[in-house]
Amino acid sequence: MTLDVVQTLCDLVRLPSVNPMGRKVTGDSDIYFEHRVTDYLEAKAKELGLPYERYVVSPQRDNLILRVDGDPLPEQGGRILMFEAHQDTVPIDGMTIPPFDPQIRDGRVYGRGSCDVKSGLAAMLTAVSRLAHEKPVGRATVVLACTVNEEQGFSGALHWADSYAGGETSTHRSKLLPRVPDECVVAEPTKLDVVVAHKGAVRWRCRTGGRAAHSSAPQRGDNAVYHMARVLAVIERYAKEVVGTLGDHPLVGPPTMSVGVISGGISVNTVPDECVIEIDRRVLPGENPQDAWRHAVDWIAAHVPPGTPVTHDEPFLMSRGLADDRNGPLADRLGAITRRHGGSGQRIGVPFGTDAPLYALTGCPTVVFGGGSIEQAHTADEWMPIDQLQAATEILYELACTP
């Protein structure tokens, strides 16, 4: 049986798998976490007669791994190709279309996740179903990894990389993937170009302290927001004048830094005793996120006014960038196949992050690829062009059949 990729994408969009992104989750009928999608994938694996593994990463968040055997098998010298796609989506706030009621019109599929990245998951699952049905001679063994929590922390990819590369001491050693794959393709919307390099990130919270008081007598308090204003001026200077001088990459450009969240105070009539910001520092391929964090913290400390009550938490997210030093042959092959199917197949770099570096760190040449544009990801009317969805499916199938 071969799946229909458009129908499969619509099936996936109907299943809410919203990443709470740090929000408190309450209620019995919430839309959060990936378990509905994982149940669907497990049912499809059974329907296709394919072996699978299901790993609990955290409550209601399971990785699902399935495999279609190649010709020859890996144990007989055959190659292993890994496909990877995440199951989660960003929240639905502000959407102008029904997020979980997929609509097909104007050659597009609309709905949350239709672009990022249930389209990639549908394309990979459909390609796997065709491989299992047609069994072409010389095909690779394909392992499809469907991971959780890509949008906020990469914990699913970290768990899966440890499952196949963590050594014999790993408590969740995979039986479907006996060794590091020969190649890996991570699904993200790339307009059918091949991403060979991208930035990573380090994110942390910075705090200023103060002393609470009634706003009718603010002189009795110490306003943490005012302290943070002075810290923010320093951070803005660092971001504009320093970060961009710390390196450069021909495909992704220089590193960057920005402040995305600020909060402080409990009421307008209370002098705030704490103010908190969240900082995002994008790191280059090969740059150490821990070192980037330490450089920023030390520079800020050296330039804020003396006595400023400022502290920095340890990072709550650290991810390396994807380097382009080992994935050239895979990118060339995938690009050539893509051009045969009407895509440009160019080697490109992008500023956003993916699961890919965690697999590259295991020694597996890894690229990022898929239909659709990142400009449509996370949008109020998210959509995927059907022609690129179908082309991506054909390209992935051919990649598995092409040594």
CA distance 172 to 382: 36
In the predicted model, what is the mean pLDDT of residues 151-167?
A: 92
- In the prediction, which pLDDT does 403 show? 82
Tokens 């706003």 locate to 215
pTM value is 0.94
Nearest in space to 190 (alpha carbons), one of 9, 399, 350? 350
- Model confidence pLDDT, tens digit, residues 290-336: 999 999 999 999 999 999 999 999 999 999 999 999 999 999 999 99
Please report the beta strands in 210-313, taking only residues with DSSP state E, as ranges in sequence order. 213-214, 256-264, 270-271, 274-283, 310-312
- How confident is residue 168, by pLDDT bands cut at 50, 70 and 90? low
DSSP secondary structure string, 301-340?
HHHSPTT--EEEPPPSEEEPPBPSSS-HHHHHHHHHHHHH
Domain boundaries, the chain: 5-198+322-401, 200-319
- Model confidence pLDDT, tens digit, residues 136-149: 999 999 999 999 99
- In the prediction, which pLDDT does 171 show? 73
- Model confidence pLDDT, tens digit, residues 227-270: 999 999 999 999 999 999 999 999 999 999 999 999 999 999 99
pLDDT at 170 over 90: no
In the predicted model, what is the mean pLDDT of residues 80-104?
A: 97
CATH homologous superfamily, domain 5-198+322-401: Zn peptidases (3.40.630.10)
- Model confidence pLDDT, tens digit, residues 214-238: 999 999 999 999 999 999 999 999 9
200-319 — its CATH code? 3.30.70.360
Cβ pair 174, 159 in contact under 8 A: no
- Residue 267's contacts (CB-CB under 8 Å, 6 or more residues apart) are none
CA distance 43 to 195: 31
- How confident is residue 25, by pLDDT bands cut at 50, 70 and 90? confident
pLDDT at 169 over 70: no
- Residue 221's contacts (CB-CB under 8 Å, 6 or more residues apart) are 210, 211, 212, 213, 214, 271, 273
CA angle 40, 145, 26 (to 5 degrees): 55
